[in-house]
A = this chain, B = another copy of it.
Amino acid sequence: MWSSLTEGLLKGDIKSLARCITLVENDVAGADQFMQSLPLSSIPVLGITGPPGAGKSTLTDALIEQIIKAGKKIAVLCVDPSSPFNLGAVLGDRIRMSRWYNHPDVFIRSLATRGALGGLHPYILEVTDICKTAGFDYILIETVGVGQSEVEITGLADATIVVLIPESGDEVQTMKAGLMEIADLFVLNKADRPDADLFARHLRLMLAPAFKAGKREVPIFKTVATENKGIQELWVALQSFLASEHFNEQKSWLLAEKVYRLIQQKRMKDVNKEFLLQAIKTQMSKTFNLYRFAADYTSEQNQK
């Protein structure tokens, strides 16, 4: 099964791609060996993140259009937050993007986070790498977040675009340092609103100390994604960023970050929360200490 799928995948067959993703997501036997057999690819991964309502989907839609116009192929992964309890995804409004669903050069997949403890999606790394081998020119990952998830996308994307709107003042204030370090490019969307210029000036002022400290200046692009305004300029800038030195320097750091996640995934694979819950229920008493319990569990497992 795996060898014919791999063959199809490397030829860019969409059915093989979709099937590989599903098999890896479900951790079917042979998935590990399959991942280990894939060739290293340097296809660029674009990350788009920002607070809810900033227009990330509309911007993604506009970027797809640029890529298709240039005669290139793109895979889009939409990561949606899900509830940690019912494991149901809160799939956002993807209506605007729907015109691409049947386009032969566009592959779109929605991934629910499945309540992964502190993760974008348990197999987002694998899914991205599978897509990379299927003959696309770009991979784009879109994710909602004003918290941890946008930090995580920097460990995954070669270029991270942080989308803000003139109303995002509060988020910017809170995530100040974080945003500065995360963004390779800022997009100020809905820039036709009256307070857009003021916000852009404000953002530049806030970023200024970091530039003075010798960091790369992070450009701010004003767009009105619904009207396709500013998109081409953004696209040109993205391409020149991907060709820059800065991008190359990030490469090994990115790989280290990914390997760290893979190791974490491997090491936690055998820990079953339901089992822990039952074990705790039977041991609960006045003298229960969870640090001792965790230590005992870990040393028991190590002896196996």
Report the minimum CB–CB distance from A139 to chain B (whole Å): 16
Inter-chain CA distance A209–B292, complex, in Å, is 41
Inter-chain CA distance A281–B255, complex, in Å, is 9
If the complex has contacts A267-B298, A268-B264, A294-B263, are A118 and B148 also in contact, measured as CB distance less than 8 A? yes
Q: Which of A14-22, A170-178, A229-237 contacts B (4 or more CB under 8 A)?
A: A170-178
Contacts of A36 in B (CB 8 A): 289, 291-292, 295
Contacts of A146 in B (CB 8 A): 51-52, 145-147
A154 is an interface residue with CB less than 8 A from chain B: yes
Inter-chain CA distance A267–B263, complex, in Å, is 10
Inter-chain CA distance A81–B171, complex, in Å, is 11
Contacts of A182 in B (CB 8 A): 84
Report the minimum CB–CB distance from A37 to chain B (whole Å): 8
Report the minimum CB–CB distance from A83 to chain B (whole Å): 4
If the complex has contacts A85-B181, A117-B261, A276-B256, are A289 and B40 also in contact, measured as CB distance less than 8 A? yes
Looking at A52, A173, A176, A262, the one whose CB has the most chain B CB atoms below 10 A away is: A52
| Nearest CB in chain B to that of A81: its residue | B178
B-contact bits for A143-173, CB 8 A (1 contact / 0 none): 0111111111010000000000000011101
Report the minimum CB–CB distance from A256 to chain B (whole Å): 4
Residues of A within 8 A of B (CB): 32, 35-40, 51-53, 81-86, 88, 90, 92, 115, 117-119, 126, 129, 144-152, 154, 169-171, 173-178, 180-182, 252-253, 255-264, 266-268, 271, 273, 276-277, 280-281, 284, 286-295, 297-298
